[in-house]
Amino acid sequence: MISAPAHLVRLSRAAFVFAHEGVLGLVDPAMVPVPARPLLRLARLIERPAGGTAEARLSTALTRLGPSYVKLGQFLATRPDVVGATLAQDLERLQDHMPPFPQADAKAAVEASLGKPLDSAFLSFGPPVAAASIAQVHRGTVTTADAPRDVAVKILRPGVEERFHADLAAFTFVARHAENLSAEARRLRLIEVVDTLRRTVAVEMDFRLEAAALSEMAENTKDDPDFRVPAVDWDRTSKEVLTLEWIDATPLSDRARLAAKGFDLPQLARALIQTFLRHALRDGFFHADMHPGNLFVDDEGRLVAVDFGIMGRLGLKERLFLAEILHGFITRDYHRTAEVHFEAGYVPPHHSVDNFAQAIRAIGEPIHNRTAEDISMAKLLTLLFEVTGLFDMRTRPELLLLQKTMVVVEGVARSLDPKLDMWTTAEPVVKEWMTRHLGPAGKLESAVQSAGEVGRFVGSAPGLLTRGARVLDQLDEITRDGLTLSPQTIAEIDKAEGRRSRWTAAALWVIAALLLWIALRLL
């Protein structure tokens, strides 16, 4: 148990850093209650001159405050209802880079976690090649029966768990007080926001789970010619250390090098979209952090993904739903698309299928009139979920995670081929899957499976989980929800837009009070 003064000390340091780096300067004073405005001005007095762009200021402040704040920042990027659309966008662009920890600490961490001397596990162990808030990656070599093999060793930042624990306790402290003081904070379920962050990070900080995700994905994709993942070296993997086959490949972000190597960029874009859809539809298990930093192309032209900390799962029911709506839009069968929503039980039966079909047609038709490169599947899903909200549909969190990932994947694909045609790219994957599952042979297979699936669905509903195996519970929830939140919270996102300014004001009150507290301490 950490005491309230200890929380206040941590938080006041954060308030000071935010003020000093000029993050509070990003706040529109008009959104702050009048009595708090002098405090905001006071905060601005300690602002460092030449803080740079909003993004740069945020980045400096969060990096100074450490990993928990970087994660909080990334997390709040998915919550425009809490922080406002502009700040959410700035946060979304933040890169997770941190100065590396010393080589000696890395070696000591590996030895402690694997329980053996470094030399007995690795033939060589090089300096870090990448460092971020939770971990850093080193290149090493191991002996095998034939020849030495290169490996990537991802090491959990020493002390990061303790730090998270303390920082998250402080965040909970703020959330609890905010919920006591403000109806707005209660509506946004701030305590739940912090809890979700805690669970997400707990999963990301256990590398055995990342290794298991890699291994599951490897099994799912073993026959796919255009995608692969690095193999896990289980003998050198523990909670804090993840050892993988070293991937010698070109980053997908390095277009010039890809082109110089003679890769067909539009073909890579198609492969990326099809790969993602295959994982989502066929396997129901997808990588939910597909930014270009995590994607590579090997010399055989295959896509390689790393970083399996955040994964999404779709049950058969969601996959059938997704395939049917994509198929419905591709074939312009809006009535069928509408029916699917009712059949899945996502839209309450008192609504009219015809009215719903009309709303969907309003999204689909304009898209069909556009040229191929203007069609965005991610945008389509985004619009669809907006419309479905009007019909009291509570969007499943796993579908929202899919939609968010699709926005990222589509962005990466378009950077490789601005003329990418989403429909013709998606069609073969959707069609193949539909034929298998909805064709005469597939019907039976799916019917049998979905009976079990629906049972699982109910069985894993929040609240019905037993409290026992915590990490597994958490894993289940996180892989279902990823960085998204519970259905209730998501429903709130739609409603909260107009109330955002008042909550920002409440948050500022807390920060203002802290600054006052520091000021009094200093006097």
Site residues for ligand ADP per CB under 6 A: 129-130, 132, 134-135, 137, 152, 154, 230, 244, 246-247, 293-294, 306-307, 309
Kindly tell me which of 137 and 160 has the beta carbon lying closer to ligand ADP: 137
Rounded to whole angstroms, how far apart are CA atoms 163 and 4? 17
CB of 140 to Mg ion, least distance (A): 18
112 binds, among ligand ADP, Mg ion, none (CB under 5 to 8 A by kind): none
Residues 166-195 that bind Mg ion (CB under 5 A): none
Contact indicator for 279, 285 with CB cutoff of 8 Å: yes
Give the CA distances from residue 145 to residues 122, 149, 172, in Å, rounded to whole numbers and listed in that order. Answer: 14, 10, 51
Kindly tell me which of 22 and 230 has the beta carbon lying closer to ligand ADP: 230
204 belongs to the binding site for Mg ion (CB under 5 A): no
Rounded to whole angstroms, how far apart are CA atoms 411 and 489? 26
Burial of 171 (0-12, 13-18, 19+ CB in 10 A): buried
Kindly tell me which of 399 and 478 has the beta carbon lying closer to ligand ADP: 478
Q: Which of 96, 167, 289, 421 does the annotation list as catalytic?
A: 289
Question: Shortest CA distance to 495 belongs to which of 82, 32, 177, 31?
Answer: 82
Rounded to whole angstroms, how far apart are CA atoms 196 and 186? 15
CB atoms near residue 176 (< 10 Å): 14
**Sheet strands side by side (includes 295-297):** 227-228, 303-305, 295-297, 250-251
246 binds, among ligand ADP, Mg ion, none (CB under 5 to 8 A by kind): ligand ADP
CB of 206 to ligand ADP, least distance (A): 13
User: 454 CB contacts (<8 Å, ≥6 apart)?
Assistant: 317
Which amino acid is residue 359, in one-letter code? A
200 binds, among Mg ion, ligand ADP, none (CB under 5 to 8 A by kind): none
130 binds, among Mg ion, ligand ADP, none (CB under 5 to 8 A by kind): ligand ADP
Q: Is 289 a catalytic residue?
A: yes
CB of 130 to ligand ADP, least distance (A): 4
Residue nearest Mg ion, Cβ-based: 307
| Strand blocks (E) in 232-299 | 241-245, 250-251, 285-287, 295-297
Kindly tell me which of 176 and 291 has the beta carbon lying closer to Mg ion: 291
CB of 63 to Mg ion, least distance (A): 16
Rounded to whole angstroms, how far apart are CA atoms 173 and 165? 12
CB of 71 to ligand ADP, least distance (A): 11
CB of 294 to Mg ion, least distance (A): 5
Contact indicator for 170, 491 with CB cutoff of 8 Å: no
| Strand blocks (E) in 241-319 | 241-245, 250-251, 285-287, 295-297, 303-305, 311-313
Contact indicator for 253, 304 with CB cutoff of 8 Å: no
Kindly tell me which of 307 and 421 has the beta carbon lying closer to ligand ADP: 307
Rounded to whole angstroms, how far apart are CA atoms 400 and 485? 9
Among 307, 398, 410, 477, binds Mg ion (CB under 5 A): 307
Kindly tell me which of 21 and 307 has the beta carbon lying closer to Mg ion: 307
294 belongs to the binding site for Mg ion (CB under 5 A): yes
Kindly tell me which of 76 and 244 has the beta carbon lying closer to ligand ADP: 244
469 binds, among ligand ADP, Mg ion, none (CB under 5 to 8 A by kind): none
Q: Is 469 helix (H, G, I), strand (E, B) or coil?
A: coil
Q: Output the furthest CA–CA distance in the chain (Å, rounded).
A: 79
CB of 98 to Mg ion, least distance (A): 12
Write the interaction track for Mg ion spanning residues 212-251; mark x where CB under 5 A is met and - where it is not.
----------------------------------------
Rounded to whole angstroms, how far apart are CA atoms 477 and 461? 9
Instruction: Give the number of residues in contact with Mg ion, rule: CB under 5 A.
Output: 2
244 binds, among Mg ion, ligand ADP, none (CB under 5 to 8 A by kind): ligand ADP
- Tell me the catalytic residues: 289
Query: Can you give the binding site for Mg ion, defined by CB under 5 A?
Result: 294, 307
